[in-house]
Chain A
């Protein structure tokens, strides 16, 4: 039997007296869209931080295709093929949309001073190719027409799409999206859901934090339900949503 695609085992994280994650274990299957749901403060973003190396768990471990991720830096984990977005976007406001994507592209020539100063023509030639690559990614998320716009001039929906473009640029195969649909208009919401489906069709595996139950029903293959740092349930969207005990936790009462 091969190792699970992504496996989290008994992860514990505390912030002072607050136990953000307690004995949190789950697996994620390759090629599927897994939604991570739960009330505010359940520990969803903490799971993201623990998987992507932004936070060192107090105990427990994460393995990706059988390889332990313990102690690796965020950029090493990206190189292994796991990348994430942030709930508060964290785009580079003073750079253009295209430059934001270019920062995400790996193995960039001229990204250190020696190459930049002593091999400028090589770097410039390489950059032309990478620009084409970055434009194709912007095209993919539907932002090609905004490539040279500064981030601060983009709408919120466009900024969300740009975070997806930047994470796609890293070439990661497992992509963690932190609330990609929140705060979007109905039209933008449909565009994001279609984009997630396309990414899945292209072979990406997605782990998505999402609050909107309609979105979860539409896109999720699997659902992880988190509550107060515990993994309460794992199942199909139908199983999770029809469970009255979970609805009680999630909505604070019967619906």
Chain B
């Protein structure tokens, strides 16, 4: 039973990340491969505040989300200067840079060993310790995220972002500021990724750089591609399906040494197969 609860909670955290990636990549067309880095910054910030008992979970998560808003705006600003292909390279560099910092800044991040013993989250001073409570917390977090995403998609802001993804010049000719809308989308994606990071750190009570590396960024993209771009059901389906995969692999009796690479292999194959044969994903639109 614990196994199922932790799967659900983790998948819900990744739903927030899927929403973040979908907003940025699927809707606004800013093809970022550094979303895991932003996720990581959120996780480390919350871990730091809770371990040093500076403040409670909610304010820590709020600060983490705010920092990630600022960070994501900075990270995506180049996309407003350079066009699509170049931006992928830029964000690839940012992801590598972030990983290097996570691994080498031992004083702040614990380096490659990570930060163990992060205290459980609390709500207004009440600790959240049981699995059921944690799942509820994650459900509330991802539920709010889904609500925000849904509201945006049906609001004029969602339409503007779709229009920008199709044709920035035409949006400018229609009298709308492209830059401001893209920065707003990046900020929102940052808030989602940062608060997901906070949940993740307290849920696992341990963070290390391997959760926030390039593979993780590509996993997020795979979730959006498999689930489906630009829809709420797609952003929910993708994480639940792809996170079920390692659990399914654990049931098959293969050595742990090849399990990790088998997983990466399957993610890669899924990405290619979906791009070729079902670009709209299971429940979405073409990326």
Contact = CB atoms under 8 A, between A and B. Distances in A.
A53 to B, nearest CB: 8
Counting chain A residues whose Cβ lies within 8 A of the other chain, the interface size class is 35 or more
B184 A112 contact: yes
Interface in A110-168: 110-113, 115-117, 120, 123-124, 127, 130, 166-167
B172 interface: yes
A52 B181 CA distance: 20
Interface in B156-176: 156-160, 162-163, 166-167, 169-176
A28 interface: no
Contacts of A117: 148, 151-152
Given A95-B163, A99-B159, A75 B176 contact: yes
Contacts of A169: 174
Interface string B123-161: 000000000000000000000000010011011111110
A103 B176 CA distance: 8
B170 A91 contact: yes
Given A90-B167, A113-B188, A95 B173 contact: no
A73 interface: yes
A79 interface: yes
B156 A110 contact: yes
B155 A123 contact: yes
Residue of B151, B152, B154 with highest tally of chain A CB at under 10 A: B151
B177 interface: yes
B156 A75 contact: no
Contacts of B178: 75
Contact of A54 (B159, B169, B181): B169
A169 B173 CA distance: 11
Interface residues of B, number: 31
Residue of A54, A85, A94 with highest tally of chain B CB at under 10 A: A94
A108 B170 contact: no
Residue of A74, A85, A108, A123 with highest tally of chain B CB at under 10 A: A74
Contacts of B172: 54, 73-75
Contacts of A85: 173
A170 interface: yes
B180 interface: yes
Contact of A116 (B157, B162, B170, B173): B157
Contact of B152 (A75, A79, A113, A124): A113
B174 A109 contact: no
Contact of B171 (A79, A86, A103, A123): A103
Nearest to B191: A113
A74 B170 CA distance: 10
A92 B168 CA distance: 10
Interface string B179-203: 0110011011000000000000000
Given A75-B175, A103-B174, A117-B151, A123 B166 contact: no
Contacts, number: 107
Contacts of B170: 86, 90-92
B285 interface: yes
Contacts of A91: 170
Contacts of A92: 162-163, 166-167, 170
Contacts of A111: 155-157, 160, 176, 181
A106 interface: yes
A124 B148 CA distance: 14
A166 to B, nearest CB: 6
A93 interface: yes
A130 B159 CA distance: 14
Given A92-B166, A108-B156, A120 B151 contact: yes
Contacts of B154: 124
A104 B170 CA distance: 10
A181 interface: no
A227 interface: no
Given A92-B163, A110-B156, A116 B151 contact: yes
Contacts of A74: 169, 172-173, 175
A102 interface: yes
Contact of A102 (B159, B184, B188): B159
13 contacts: A74-B173, A75-B175, A78-B174, A92-B166, A102-B159, A103-B163, A110-B156, A111-B156, A112-B184, A113-B152, A116-B157, A117-B148, A166-B174
7 A-B pairs with least C-beta separation: A78-B175, A116-B155, A90-B170, A74-B172, A110-B155, A111-B156, A104-B174
Given A104-B175, A167-B173, 12 more contacts: A73-B172, A74-B172, A74-B173, A74-B175, A84-B173, A90-B170, A109-B156, A110-B157, A113-B188, A124-B155, A166-B174, A170-B175
Interface of A: 52, 54, 73-75, 78-79, 83-86, 90-95, 99, 102-104, 106, 108-113, 115-117, 120, 123-124, 127, 130, 166-167, 169-170, 172
